[in-house]
Amino acid sequence: MGADGRLSARLPYGRGPRCLGGHVVVPAEVGLPQGQLPARLFCPMVVAETGAKLSKSLIRSGEAALPAGAEPWMLDTRKWPGTVGEFADRLLNLAGLLLSHPRHFFRSYSAAELARLMSVPTGSPTT
């Protein structure tokens, strides 16, 4: 367990997130039985064009601007320009892409790149 009480395992460079201080939960390394997932799963980090973590709370409070390439629906899904079904399909498509290989999941994505990936219709190539 980490100092904050969360299950986590710090991995050496070359394994896991490409950010300093990143934590990846590896069930076997923290003593969880095989097949049991931890209560929290950390997903790819969304970053601004500067590489800093995108802070939704600072943007919402007006202390920071929405970064270039980010879309208003990233802070409020009700602002998605299409239908709810289309949003769900694209989000599931994005999740499938991120989970298709660890190199896609254990990294950071710019808000602009996530907007680009979400703009691709379901079933279309994303690269």
Q: What's the pLDDT tens digit per position in 110-126? A: 999 999 999 887 665 55
SS3 state at 20:
coil
Counting residues of the chain whose pLDDT is more than 90, the rounded percentage is 19
Average pLDDT over residues 23-29: 58
Whole-number Å distance between alpha carbons of 88 and 86: 5
pLDDT value at residue 16: 39
Tell me if 49 sits within 8 A of 69, measured CB to CB: yes
pTM of the predicted model as reported, rounded to 2 decimal places:
0.60
Amino acid identity, position 51? G
Q: Which is higher by pLDDT, 30 or 69?
A: 69
Whole-number Å distance between alpha carbons of 93 and 60: 27
Q: Which is higher by pLDDT, 76 or 5?
A: 76
- Rounded to the nearest integer, the mean pLDDT of the chain is 74
Asked whether the predicted pLDDT for residue 90 surpasses 60, the reply is: yes
Tally of CB atoms within 10 A around 79? 10
pLDDT value at residue 89: 93
